[in-house]
Structure 1
């Protein structure tokens, strides 16, 4: 089986990662205790891509959770699917990175990185045929950007022939926590160009605009943004988690989507996006859905896909039904 090791780092990475596990556990029929309650063989056919099977038939996410402060870990543990994760796979410090890329990359993060790598190695060694790593992080904070890129470079050294996929949330002035976000993102991009194979670009500004304009939420919260990201992550990984012909693993996805090795930044489009009140009045056709998919308003990244300035455009359309 072509297994993946999922890693989530920093406050943003852990929050969208926890939401991602809630969504895919529901899709695979797994309850918060790790017990399967589904009704289709398809749910279990490729479940080993993301889950380990433990004693008693329990399914445990192959996930590593890291942060430089304990707060986010506590909230993940206290969340609806907090008991699903293996307790040994929580790795955290006490000091925090203070939104400082250098602290995450060179000082506080460098002290914790060996502990994280030990857990990653343990998960990788338990795989029959590891296809690669999936990393969830933000580009604006200190831990997600600084320590996240440090981890990516260390994993690349140790597993040079495995695929490295990231879900990277880029900062924006519209939804901003701190003034140093652009510096953290700028310092991180170089690392992603050099050491990642596939980067799914998410952008807080685009996510905020989708919530405000399309979903008609007057004051979108981070929870709303995370819900949107987790739905997109679930859709993107559908072809990995369920049987099918197209993009059945990360390497095939890379072959189909990447024209030049360094040009591996993907924009994610999502359709259908309709506000809660208007869902029952629309029945979208396939051409309408496809048109929506390429519309700039449906992109998780604030950039116009029809612009001539974009160097290359490819597309893959995994199907996902979201209510």
Structure 2
């Protein structure tokens, strides 16, 4: 049974990459401890052999989505340099020269329809490489415009196209104490309303709680995004 990960927006791509890296490292350690069956099952669920002979590394069953090419290309380079697995080579890409301005409506109604056909074509390619597709995991944020707006549209398209497959949305809850984005409450409400109709499960992670865990539980005074992502993907693994 295979799962296809769909990473939407800057936050969704960062968390999705950290999650897949954790899955790969866990399988690697399990194989070293003699748990080869567990390692093989775990890898086959989220990874596949690379389609060309150029790279002899597992390839993630994933689709990277963003309105700006810079964010996606940075993710490709980071994984290629620091990880022992790869992302699939996208042959059907569409980028917009500007982002979604932290606006759900801009991501859903303006940028979304332009990018959706290309996104779903890449999803179709990954689905066809699965022997037995179990479902999808979508990584996205509820604060910005691309993750929330375009992520909502992609989730609805998955519901319409793959009705009988399981669809889980992993939603990063915005900071409620600092209000980094002035209209984030509206973005979040619209996102939840859409995901409620299109997802079989919604796993929410609050940024405020992640901050609290890093500072109070882990005792980190100056923590970074990788530290926060580590807390997030461990939470996903325990509750997903």
The one-character-per-residue Cα deviations of 1:135-171 (angstroms, maximum 9, x if unpaired) are 0000111011000000000110111111110110011
1:81 to 59, 78, 83: 83
Corresponding position of 1:17: 16
Aligned-pair CA distance for 1:37: 7.7
CA contact (8 A) 2:4 2:61 kept: yes
Q: Distance in 2 between matches of 1:90 and 1:178?
A: 31
Deviation of the 1:210 alpha carbon: 1.1
Aligned equivalents of 1:37 and 1:115: distance in 2? 39
Match of 1:51 in 2: 47
Cα gap change, 1:82 to 1:58, in 2 (>3 Å): closer
Structure-2 separation of matches of 1:173 and 1:90: 37
| Alignment: residue pair count | 231
Query: Is 1:6 equivalent to 2:9 in the alignment?
Result: no
**Residue aligning to 2:168:** 165
Contact persistence 2:57–2:86 (CA under 8 A): no
> Aligned partners of 2:73, 2:113: CA distance in 1, in Å?
22
In structure 1, the residue matched to 2:144 is 141
Q: Which has the larger radius of gyration?
A: 1
| Aligned CA distance change for structure 1 residues 39 and 59 (closer, same or farther; 3 Å) | farther
3-state DSSP of counterpart to 1:102:
helix
Deviation of 1:53 after TM superposition, in Å, equals 2.0
Q: State the Cα RMSD in Å.
A: 2.3
1:191 maps to 2:194: yes
> Matched residues in 2 for 1:24 and 1:109: separation?
30
SS for the counterpart of 1:151 is: helix
> Aligned equivalents of 2:13 and 2:27: distance in 1?
21
CA distance in 1, matches of 2:148, 2:167: 16
More helix as a share of residues: 2
Instruction: Go from structure 1 to structure 2 and tell me whether the alpha carbon gap of 1:179 and 1:125 turns closer, same or farther (over 3 Å shift).
Output: same
Using the size of structure 2 for normalisation, the TM-score is 0.88
3-state DSSP class of the match of 1:48? helix
Give how far 1:95 is off: 1.7
Partner residue, 2:101: 98
What 5-or-longer segments of structure 1 have no aligned partner? 31-35, 238-323
Post-superposition Cα deviations, 1:222-281, rounded to whole Å, max 9, x if no partner, equal 3321121122223345xxxxxxxxxxxxxxxxxxxxxxxxxxxxxxxxxxxxxxxxxxxx
Distance 1:60 1:74 in 2: 16
Q: Does residue 1:116 correspond to 2:112, yes or no?
A: no
Contact 1:135 1:165 in 2 (8 A): yes
Could you tell me how far apart the structure 2 residues matched to 1:66 and 1:198 are? 21
